[in-house]
Amino acid sequence: MKISKKIEQSTKEGKIWWSFEYFPPRTAQGLQNLLDRIERMRALGPEFIDITWRVSSPIPPADATDPPRRNAGGRTSDLTSEMVKTCQGLLGIETCMHLTCTNMPREKVDIALEEAKQHGCRNVLALRGDPPAGKDEWEAVEGGFVHGIDLVKHIHKLYCDYFDIAVAGFPQFQLLPPEERDLEMKYLKDKVDEGVDFIFTQMFYDVEIFIDWVKAVRAAGITIPIVPGIAPIQTWNGFLKATSLAKIKIPQSYMDALEPHKNNDEKVREIGTKLVADMCRKILDADLGIKGLHFYTMNLEKGTKMLLEELNLVPRIETIKPLPWRQSLTPNRRQENIRPIFWANRAKSYLSRTENWDEFPNGRFGDSRSPAYGELDGYGVSLKQTKEQALKLWGEPKSFSDVAELFARFCEKQLTALPWSDQPASSETAVIASDLANMNRLGFLTINSQPAVNGARSDDPRFGWGPSNGYVYQKAYLEFFVNGELLELLISHIELDPNMTYYVINKQGDLRTNTHSDGPNAVTWGVFPNKEIIQPTIVEAISFMAWKDEAFELGCKWAYIYDAGSPSRKLIVDIMNDSYLVNVVHNDFKDPDAIFVPFFKAGEEYAASHPQQNHAVKTNGFVN
């Protein structure tokens, strides 16, 4: 059924409706769990769902004469089509498919549309899309489309009115200078005039900006339904990153309410739920003709459910199931037909106890089985900074030593960001800042770390998280890029300490490890009153292999802020091509300094064997 018809029907009945957005996960097991989660969230009563579209592409070479390098990120565009098929057919949920112009020649668009029709999908969100991986600027592929309006015209040309077509709307455009704002409104009106049926808006938190934008849209003669995009606040860091990436204005009232609790994500989610719910009520009560809300779930369940409950919108739906409890679709539970009777009336508790790793503060490595494992926004990898901001931050490094010094200065809080860190170094980094800076100057380019913590109180201003009166623990963790020769020296020392485990991976995906366990290694955990031990942050192989693509791509994004053929671009691309990505865990959390010993020994040996470099590091034979 077309979404416009659903909206029309709900309007006639005078009821409030809602819908959910999901994105394709980055691992096969994550996909299985997401389908399981979509089926479970169906009980929350969405009118429809939509699935984002992502396309992998070759990573550009360092030099125009070099061949392109294939991004191993997976064919997520094909996965989008499969998800639409499953949701429409197997799960029976009305689904809207995103479709972009990015890396999409005309024939690929036609295949996607034909498959959508075969799957019974009647709704498409037509977007231009973000720049492809490895590119700073958006560009059309040969035989592709240049603007979203071209895609709208093409869909109508092939399928007339078979599909409902949606486009994106941006309330933040109200803050642009008048000429730019009016031009953007003209672009939106032009698309609508080509046969658009409704508008999804970008996320926002300032309700007055949204209301002003809706009134401006109506004043421009656009009468089709507007569906506001609502983003639940899941965690403090996630909230800051999402608003920063999308350049969303945050009302000061939100900051005043949330920032005092930034180390307690449970409290942030509780307060954020009330703030966003209040925003939703104002939208629904503003006499705008809007009675629907579209939730950007980020593939998570709890935040969206809490928001619906706060709004008193969660329906009570009776379902018929083949077993007394809902059967899971995940690979390890597909054949499950027995559960302990003790949880007969607590099915949600049972599932949460056994598979709900991602509903607490997420670290860099979430469980790869989680459907929420992937990019923050589901739309690919990008730098937060503009080219001008990046050049001001990082200058134009000419040698490896220049690059290493940038990393060291970041650890010492003399630099506010790196391509791998949008925010300044965290407060807990201060405990190990000196050691991290020394590591970088020895040739280990650190992109993530945490110190060992042995039973800090949950309200500790530096290390605390979670409910009151609890205690938190951490294993020391380091993640970094390093050249092959220095890596071998490091491993020779790590192997002498039975408490240290590591994963090493190159850009091609070849993995090396000394761990003998296939399961996750919990590196952060908390003990709280009346709760089981919570393990929100883990390290394990599948997650690391999935993260590797993003880590190397961020380096390429950095390289491409510099002109083609420039020494800085070549230097950074060479580092990315020639380095290994490594993570190391010291499993004795009672010994905070032990993790650094092998690094300093290996670094000193390397420096002694390369005196002509004056402690600069040699990358695969090239002195930098």
Q: Could you give the CA distance from residue 265 to residue 362 in angstroms, rounded to a whole number?
A: 10
Q: Could you give the CA distance from residue 294 to residue 283 in angstroms, rounded to a whole number?
A: 12
pLDDT in tens, 419-458: 988 778 888 899 999 999 999 999 999 999 999 999 999 8
pTM of the model: 0.66
- Judged by phi (left if over 0) then psi (alpha if -120 to 50, else beta), residue 397 lies in beta
Q: Could you give the CA distance from residue 392 to residue 90 in angstroms, rounded to a whole number?
A: 52
Whole-number average pLDDT of the chain? 82
Going 262 to 265 to 266 to 268, the CA torsion angle's sign is positive
Q: What's the pLDDT at 597?
A: 97
Q: Could you give the CA distance from residue 408 to residue 223 in angstroms, rounded to a whole number?
A: 55
Mean pLDDT, range 554-582, rounded to an integer:
95
Q: What's the pLDDT at 31?
A: 83
Mean pLDDT, range 112-135, rounded to an integer:
80
Active site residue 21: yes
Strands 292-296 and 226-230: parallel
Q: What's the pLDDT at 130?
A: 62
Query: In the predicted model, is pLDDT for residue 346 greater than 80?
Result: no
Phi, psi of 455 (to 5 degrees): 75, 45
Q: Could you give the CA distance from residue 406 to residue 271 in angstroms, rounded to a whole number?
A: 37
Q: Which residues, at least 6 apart from 312, have a Cβ–Cβ distance to it below 8 Å?
A: none
pLDDT in tens, 64-86: 333 333 332 234 457 888 888 88
Q: What's the pLDDT at 141?
A: 67
Q: What's the pLDDT at 493?
A: 97
Question: Token pair of 319, please?
Answer: 């379902």
DSSP string computed for 72-141? -S--HHHHHHHHHHIIIIIS---EEEEEESTT-BHHHHHHHHHHHHHTT--EEEEE--PPPTT-SS--PP
DSSP string computed for 184-214? HHHHHHHHHHTT--EEEEEE-S-HHHHHHHH
By three-state DSSP, how is residue 158 classified?
helix
pLDDT in tens, 281-319: 999 999 999 999 999 999 999 999 999 999 999 764 433
pLDDT in tens, 201-251: 999 999 999 999 999 999 999 999 999 999 999 999 899 989 988 889 999
| Angle value at C-alpha 500, between 499 and 503, nearest 5 degrees | 150
By three-state DSSP, how is residue 451 classified?
coil
> CA 406: distance to chain centroid?
25
| Angle value at C-alpha 504, between 581 and 596, nearest 5 degrees | 80
Return the higher-pLDDT residue of 265 and 91. Answer: 265
Query: In the predicted model, is pLDDT for residue 375 greater than 50?
Result: no
Over pLDDT 70: what percentage of the chain?
81
Mean pLDDT, range 255-275, rounded to an integer:
94
* Active-site residue identified among 13, 21, 39, 184: 21
Q: Could you give the CA distance from residue 476 to residue 503 in angstroms, rounded to a whole number?
A: 15
Q: What's the pLDDT at 25?
A: 86
pLDDT in tens, 16-62: 999 999 999 877 778 888 888 998 898 899 999 999 986 443 333 33
Residue 184 burial (C-beta neighbours within 10 Å; 0-12, 13-18, 19+): middle
Residue 161 burial (C-beta neighbours within 10 Å; 0-12, 13-18, 19+): exposed
Q: What's the pLDDT at 363?
A: 35
Strands (DSSP E) found in 128-283:
164-169, 198-203, 226-230
Q: Could you give the CA distance from residue 103 to residue 466 in angstroms, rounded to a whole number?
A: 42
Query: In the predicted model, is pLDDT for residue 329 greater than 50?
Result: no
Query: In the predicted model, is pLDDT for residue 495 greater than 90?
Result: yes
Residue that the structure tokens 């690979």 belong to: 331
Run of H or E residues at 30: helix 28-41
H helix count then E strand count, the chain: 19, 21
Run of H or E residues at 487: helix 484-494
Query: In the predicted model, is pLDDT for residue 368 greater than 60?
Result: no
